Amino acid sequence: MADNNNLAAELRTSFGKGAARKIRAAGKIPAVIYGHGTTPQHVTLPGHEVALIIRKSNQILELDIAGKTQLALVKDVQKDPVRAIIEHLDLIVVRKGEKVTVDISVRIEGEPVVGTVANQENNTVSIEAEATHIPEFLVVNIEGAADGTQIFAKDIELPSGSTLISEEDLLIVNVVTPGEADLGEDSEAAPAADAAPAAE
């Protein structure tokens, strides 16, 4: 968890679309915090700081709520589809040492053997990790991979303390040699179709 994920959260008592519009107009973001059997807390967060933080997925926020510290995982971000403005956040209460299940993006590094291409079949995998040690992404190295190489979820190196939740045989990368374009039967039949019938 980054040190700059510390935010001051203000408890709010006004709800509804009108109240939410006023909050956003003031440069803040409405959010709700829930989980661990606690009563949901409705808060407002500083808009600019939150926008910077959530550019990376699965961020943990350390919130100061009326003088009390609360760790919360960013679970859902609701944005205006046209203006791309953050409209609302759903946050889940977490505790230090607790493990959570999250989807982590997979990045490919390296180049396969010349003449082959690496197709990324799945961009994310689900893992269980400590809430305060969630990796930003996972890496698959394909340097020198030959035609026919397949990398599955079980082959990805996970950070210490993390466990794979996705199916082990989930295909992540498939290295293949591109074949020649198939012209199809129509191209072979074309000359015969164009031939004029013989005169009697």
pLDDT tens for each residue of 125-169? 999 999 989 999 999 999 999 999 999 999 999 999 999 999 999
Identify the band that residue 3 occupies on the pLDDT scale cut at 50, 70 and 90: low
Identify the band that residue 180 occupies on the pLDDT scale cut at 50, 70 and 90: very low
| Structural domains of the chain in order of their starting residue, each with its CATH number | 3-95 (2.40.240.10), 100-176 (2.170.120.20)
Q: What is the pTM of this model?
A: 0.75
Return all residues near 35 (Cβ < 8 A) that are at least 6 apart: 92, 93, 94
User: What's the CA gap between 114 and 50, in Å, rounded?
Assistant: 43
- Which residue is it, tokens 């005169």? 199
Counting residues of the chain whose pLDDT is more than 70, the rounded percentage is 88
Full strand arrangement of the beta sheet holding 163-164: 137-141, 99-109, 124-130, 163-164
- Flag the least confident range among 11-15, 169-173, 175-179, 191-195: 191-195
**25-to-30, 33, 68 alpha-carbon distances in Å:** 11, 21, 27
pLDDT tens for each residue of 47-87? 999 999 999 989 999 999 999 999 999 999 998 888 878 89
Considering 25-39, 67-81, 112-126, the range whose residues carry the highest mean pLDDT is 112-126
